[in-house]
């Protein structure tokens, strides 16, 4: 019967008549025949964004709303919350969670989990503290690389166990959570604390540029570079007919970056000392460190092939494997990067508290960091997330911790509320994940 | 990297069958000779002889367990054969791994499409073979090439190549998977049940796209359970029955009942319309 279903099909080689035939099929009659790769109007862009949010890909929207909500709630209950002193304090507390959460983003993108990151990071900090203490401290230029390499090796080893032996990441890193706490206790010894007197090391976490002009110069340079790169890229894409945002959106992005940069400089250049006689002003180093890490991991995830493969594995591991991606190495790399970030966070902790102590809770640290990554917008189901999610989520988690302490909430209530916030974030993630998957 | 390299004109001598389709002539692009494959004691394929020509859609039909998947996987390098020969453009070749198949120009569009829902169309089409400039990927050049390939298939209805695959319809996903397969100077595209999960309009789109591949000079192996689709799209129909190739006949010389007979019993009592058939085994 079907033999003669298509009498008007043309001989091979003549392509034109086929197109004529296509226009008769119902599908092609309702839609353009080719992808329309051109500059979209601002109006269309906004509509596309709304559609994306409704289909579950809400991006940074929830975390920004969360930040506004936290600011309002805590400012109402304590007027010091949005004061200069507490804002910088908030940022400093957040820096730990930000750095660690950026690492957690990597394992979450792969659809994995790392529960050991907290204690792995603390082990890194303890190694640094041990090397710097005593009568013959090691040079700082060796201490930091050795501590970071040690945490990298830990992550690599755990990654090998997970990818080569096929053990579940949850179990391997749960073992790590227990095991590395034990190692931390061993390193710190009977005293339970190892103080660090090296001023250069503690400056990693607490140092700042006293020169106020320098704040403007650094941030100004960063804003100009960002604006230049953004403008050039979007312009090139517009002129070569690729998918590109409208000019207005590019301009809005650049303005937003400039405003955020100005606000940051005004904040850090204001006096944040409680004592009037000893003013503290200037750009803290940790702000630049976090921004540097954010830049590195953003470029890595967005622009390099290993970064792309992390997303591919999180989206469809089998597809990535068939495309020739060596999924085991990429996953091992993800665990390694997570541990390196944890190590960096461990340095910040050691710097902030002037040493390492057994009283620092690595379990809470990693759970808050996972919460930060998820609240920031990284999916627990893999394949969706960015480094910036770790940073913004870290800001939210630290804001909650800071605000609750400021309003004098009891520790019991603090845990309950933090747990509820995480639950809300996971619910948003799960609901949007389900929507995104059923959109066909 | 130009995908136009893959296009060889076919049938220009005007040698066509009665439905206006080219009659395969000359050295086949791919030839299986007495190909055998067994898994333990189970004979999955027994001395299969099959010729696949450029510019021709060869449908591979058969009941469940007849050996369609094993044949595909043997050609794609997933299951190397136990016996027999694979000839590529007349020369014997060994396809031991998927990358061997890819380097010959064989691309497979799997039934599950193997796309990453969280990546956009361009990212999926270049997955594993991204173009780089220095340490960063060259997104602009990849996007341009992806748009060109999609346009050349002329069946895509996507609004933007920067939307994620999750937001595409089933037919659009199939189009992306096929476009991904034809980007790489491929000469043979294997499509495994491409219409199984699609509605009527989407199926029409995929079938039109399949024809277009053949018209561009590619060889297509089209595996399907749906005889309507097979007759709609195929030039040549090869029937597998219990691991043996029982027929490889131009579609024009077959009717639906004959294919049903061949698939279910391995033979047909109905008269074959021409003498050029090759009922075997």
What was the ipTM of the complex prediction? 0.82
At residue A219 the predicted structure's pLDDT band, cuts being 50, 70 and 90, is very high
Radius of gyration over alpha carbons of chain B, in Å?
Answer: 19
Q: How far is B86 from chain A (nearest CA, A)?
A: 22
Over 90: is that where the pLDDT of A98 sits?
A: yes
| Number of domains chain A is built from | 1
Count the Cβ atoms, other than its own, within 10 Å of residue B266. 19
Residue of A nearest to B118 (CA): A315
Percent of the residues in chain A that have a pLDDT greater than 70, as a whole number: 88
Q: Is the dihedral of CA B173, B174, B179, B184 positive or negative?
A: positive
Task: Return the top range by mean pLDDT from A156-170, A181-195, B6-20.
Answer: A156-170
Residue of B nearest to A316 (CA): B116
**Which value, to the nearest 10 degrees, does the dihedral of the CA atoms of residues A383, A384, A386, A388 take?**
-150
From chain B residues 23-82, the ones with a CB under 8 A of any chain A CB are 55
pLDDT of residue A23: 34
The beta-carbon neighbor of B255 closest among A3, A12, A316 is A3
Flag if B232 and A19 touch (Cβ within 8 Å).
no
Q: Give CA separation, A245 vs A37, A41, A48, in Å.
A: 11, 8, 11
Indicate whether A264 belongs to any domain: no
The candidate with the shortest Cα–Cα distance to A175, out of A192, A163, A161, is A161
Is B115 touching A (CB cutoff 8 A)? Answer: yes
- List, for residues B255-268, the tens digit of each pLDDT value: 888 888 888 887 77
From chain B residues 252-271, the ones with a CB under 8 A of any chain A CB are 252, 254-256
Coil, strand or helix at B5 = helix
The candidate with the shortest Cα–Cα distance to B214, out of B9, B75, B25, B1, is B9
- List, for residues A32-80, the tens digit of each pLDDT value: 434 444 566 778 777 877 777 766 666 788 888 889 999 999 999 988 8
In three-state form (DSSP H/G/I as H, E/B as E, the rest C), the secondary structure along chain A is CHHHCCCCCCCCCCCHHHHHHHHHCHHHHCCCCCCCCCECCHHHHHHHHHHHHHCCCCCCHHHHHHHHHHHHHHHHHCCCCCCHHHHHHHHHHHHHHHHHHHHHHHHHHCCCCCCCHHHHHHHHHHHHHHHHCCCCCCCHHHHHHHHHHHHHHHHHHHHHHHHHCCCCHHHHHHHHHHHHHHHHHHHHCCCCEEECCCHHHHHHHHCECCCHHHHHHHHHHHHHHHHHHHHHHHHHHHHCCCCECCHHHHHHHHHHHHHHHHHHHHHHHCCCCCCCCCCCCCCEHHHHHHHHHHHHHHHHHHHCHHHHHHHHHHHCHHHHHHCCCCHHHHHHHHHHHHHHHHHHHHHHHHHHCCEEECCCCHHHHHHHHHHHHHHHCCCCCCCCCCHHHHHHHHHHHHHHHHHHHHCCCCHHHHHHHHHHHHHHHHHHHHHHHHHHHHCC
Residue of B nearest to A435 (CA): B166
A74: domain CATH number is 1.10.3470
Which chain B residues are Cβ-neighbours of A33 within 8 angstroms?
Answer: 154-157
Burial of A138 (0-12, 13-18, 19+ CB in 10 A): middle
Indicate whether A86 belongs to any domain: yes
Average pLDDT of the segment spanning B230-243:
90
At residue A175 the predicted structure's pLDDT band, cuts being 50, 70 and 90, is very high
pLDDT of residue A1: 38
Domain span at residue A297 reads: 60-207+284-438
Average pLDDT of the segment spanning B27-56:
89
At residue B66 the predicted structure's pLDDT band, cuts being 50, 70 and 90, is confident
Q: How far is A308 from chain B (nearest CA, A)?
A: 8
Which among B23, B127, B137, B199 is the top mutation candidate for probing chain A, defined by the most A β-carbons within 10 Å of its own β-carbon? B127
pLDDT of residue A9: 39
Average pLDDT of the segment spanning B112-133:
91
Residue of A nearest to B56 (CA): A12
Flag if B157 and A31 touch (Cβ within 8 Å).
yes
pLDDT of residue B254: 83
At residue B6 the predicted structure's pLDDT band, cuts being 50, 70 and 90, is very low
Over 70: is that where the pLDDT of B213 sits?
A: yes
Cβ B161 vs Cβ B215: under 8 Å: no
Over 60: is that where the pLDDT of A411 sits?
A: yes
Which chain B residues are Cβ-neighbours of A436 within 8 angstroms?
Answer: 117, 166
Task: Let me know how long chain A is.
Answer: 440
The beta-carbon neighbor of B130 closest among A11, A243, A308 is A308
Average pLDDT of the segment spanning A375-398:
93
Flag if A322 and B11 touch (Cβ within 8 Å).
no
Flag if A37 and B132 touch (Cβ within 8 Å).
no
More confident residue, A154 or B37: A154
Q: Give CA separation, A86 vs A80, A93, A327, A331, in Å.
A: 7, 10, 44, 39
Is B19 touching A (CB cutoff 8 A)? Answer: yes
Over 70: is that where the pLDDT of A203 sits?
A: yes
Is B138 touching A (CB cutoff 8 A)? Answer: no
- Eight-state DSSP code of residue B35: E
Flag if B156 and A35 touch (Cβ within 8 Å).
yes
Q: Assign a CATH topology to domain B8-117+184-265.
A: Rossmann fold (3.40.50)
pLDDT of residue A56: 61
The beta-carbon neighbor of B215 closest among A13, A27, A316 is A13
pLDDT of residue B272: 57
Helices A327-352 and A117-132, axial angle in degrees (round to 10): 50
Which chain A residues are Cβ-neighbours of B156 within 8 angstroms?
Answer: 33-35
CA–CA gap between residue A10 and residue A155 (Å, rounded): 60
Over 50: is that where the pLDDT of B10 sits?
A: no
Q: How far is B154 from chain A (nearest CA, A)?
A: 6
pLDDT of residue B225: 84
Which chain B residues are Cβ-neighbours of A35 within 8 angstroms?
Answer: 121, 147, 150-151, 156, 158-161
Burial of A228 (0-12, 13-18, 19+ CB in 10 A): exposed
Over 50: is that where the pLDDT of A259 sits?
A: yes
What are the tokens at A42? 């601002």
Indicate whether A271 belongs to any domain: no
Residue of A nearest to B173 (CA): A440
**Which value, to the nearest 10 degrees, does the dihedral of the CA atoms of residues A210, A211, A214, A215 take?**
50
Coil, strand or helix at B123 = helix
Which chain A residues are Cβ-neighbours of B228 within 8 angstroms?
Answer: 2
More confident residue, A220 or B198: A220
Which chain A residues are Cβ-neighbours of B206 within 8 angstroms?
Answer: none
The beta-carbon neighbor of A25 closest among B14, B162, B204 is B204
Q: How far is B217 from chain A (nearest CA, A)?
A: 8
Cβ contacts of residue A346 below 8 Å, gap of 6+?
A120, A121, A122, A123, A124, A125, A126, A128, A147, A151
The domain limits of chain B are 8-117+184-265
CA–CA gap between residue A176 and residue B200 (Å, rounded): 53
For A395-407, b/e burial (b = at least 16 CB within 10 A) is bbbbbbbbbbebe
Q: How far is A63 from chain B (nearest CA, A)?
A: 20
Percent of the residues in chain B that have a pLDDT greater than 70, as a whole number: 86
Over 90: is that where the pLDDT of B219 sits?
A: yes
- Eight-state DSSP code of residue B271: P
Count the Cβ atoms, other than its own, within 10 Å of residue B42. 9
- List, for residues A277-307, the tens digit of each pLDDT value: 788 889 999 999 999 999 999 999 999 999 9
What are the tokens at B90? 């007349």
The beta-carbon neighbor of B11 closest among A3, A13, A15 is A13
């Amino acid at each position: 019967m079907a033999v003669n279903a298509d009498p008007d099909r043309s001989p091979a080689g003549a392509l034109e008549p086929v197109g004529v035939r296509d226009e008769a099929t119902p599908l092609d009659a309702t839609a353009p025949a080719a992808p329309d790769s051109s500059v979209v109007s601002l109006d269309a862009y906004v509509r596309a964004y709304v559609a994306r949010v409704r289909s579950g890909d809400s991006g940074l929207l929830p975390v920004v709303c969360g930040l506004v909500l936290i600011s309002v709630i805590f400012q109402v209950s304590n007027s010091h919350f949005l004061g200069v002193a507490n804002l910088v304090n908030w940022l400093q507390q957040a820096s730990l969670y930000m750095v660690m959460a950026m690492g957690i983003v990597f394992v979450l993108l792969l659809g994995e989990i790392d529960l050991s990151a907290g204690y792995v990071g603390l082990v890194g900090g303890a190694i640094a503290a041990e090397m710097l203490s005593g009568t013959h401290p090691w040079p700082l230029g060796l201490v930091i690389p050795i501590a970071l390499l040690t945490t990298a090796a830990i992550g690599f080893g755990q990654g090998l166990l997970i990818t080569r032996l096929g053990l579940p990441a949850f179990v391997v890193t749960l073992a790590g959570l227990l095991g590395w706490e034990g190692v931390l206790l061993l390193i710190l010894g009977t005293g339970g604390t190892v103080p660090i007197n090296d001023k250069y090391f503690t400056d990693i976490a607490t140092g700042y540029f006293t020169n106020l002009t320098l704040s403007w110069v650094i941030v100004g340079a960063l804003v100009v570079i960002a604006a230049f790169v953004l403008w050039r890229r979007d312009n090139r894409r517009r002129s070569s007919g690729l998918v590109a945002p409208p000019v207005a959106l590019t301009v809005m992005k650049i303005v937003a970056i400039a405003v955020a940069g100005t606000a940051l400089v005004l904040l850090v250049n204001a006096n944040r000392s409680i004592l009037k006689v000893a003013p503290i002003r200037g750009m803290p180093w940790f702000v630049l460190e976090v921004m540097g890490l954010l830049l590195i991991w953003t470029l890595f995830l967005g622009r390099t092939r290993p970064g792309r493969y992390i997303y591919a594995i999180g989206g469809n591991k089998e597809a990535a494997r068939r495309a020739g991606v060596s999924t085991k190495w990429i996953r091992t790399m993800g665990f390694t990067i997570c541990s390196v970030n944890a190590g960096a966070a461990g340095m910040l902790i050691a710097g902030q508290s002037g040493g390492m102590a057994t009283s620092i809770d690595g379990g809470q640290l990693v759970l808050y960091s996972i919460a930060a990554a998820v609240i920031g917008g990284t999916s627990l189901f893999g394949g969706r997330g960015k480094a910036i999610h770790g940073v913004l989520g870290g800001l939210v988690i630290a804001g909650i911790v800071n605000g609750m302490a400021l309003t004098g909430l009891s520790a019991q209530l603090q845990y309950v509320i933090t747990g509820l916030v995480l639950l809300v974030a996971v619910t948003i993630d799960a609901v949007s994940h389900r929507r995104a998957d059923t959109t066909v | 990297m130009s995908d136009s390299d893959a296009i060889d004109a076919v049938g220009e001598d005007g040698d066509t069958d009665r439905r206006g389709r080219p009659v395969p002539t000359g050295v086949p692009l791919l030839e299986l000779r007495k190909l055998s494959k067994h898994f333990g004691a189970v004979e999955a394929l027994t001395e299969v002889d099959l010729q696949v020509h450029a510019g021709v859609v060869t449908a591979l039909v058969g009941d469940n367990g007849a050996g369609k998947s094993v044949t595909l996987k043997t050609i794609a390098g997933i299951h190397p054969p136990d016996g027999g020969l694979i000839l590529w453009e007349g020369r014997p070749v060994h396809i031991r791994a998927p990358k061997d198949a890819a380097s010959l120009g064989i691309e497979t569009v799997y039934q599950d499409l193997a796309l990453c829902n969280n990546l956009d169309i361009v990212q999926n089409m270049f997955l594993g073979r991204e173009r780089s400039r220095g340490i960063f990927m060259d997104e602009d050049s990849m996007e341009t090439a992806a748009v060109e390939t999609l346009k050349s298939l002329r069946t895509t209805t996507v609004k933007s190549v920067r939307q994620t695959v999750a937001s595409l319809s089933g037919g659009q996903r199939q189009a992306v998977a096929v476009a991904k397969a034809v980007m790489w100077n491929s000469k043979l595209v294997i499509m495994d049940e491409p219409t199984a999960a699609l509605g009527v309009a989407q199926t029409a789109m995929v079938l039109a796209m399949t024809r277009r591949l053949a018209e561009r000079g590619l060889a297509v192996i089209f595996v399907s359970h749906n005889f309507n689709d097979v007759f709609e799209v195929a030039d040549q129909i090869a029937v597998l029955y219990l691991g043996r190739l029982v027929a490889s006949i131009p579609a024009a010389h077959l009717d639906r009942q004959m294919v049903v007979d061949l698939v279910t019993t391995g033979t047909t009592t109905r008269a074959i319309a021409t003498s050029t058939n090759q009922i075997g085994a």
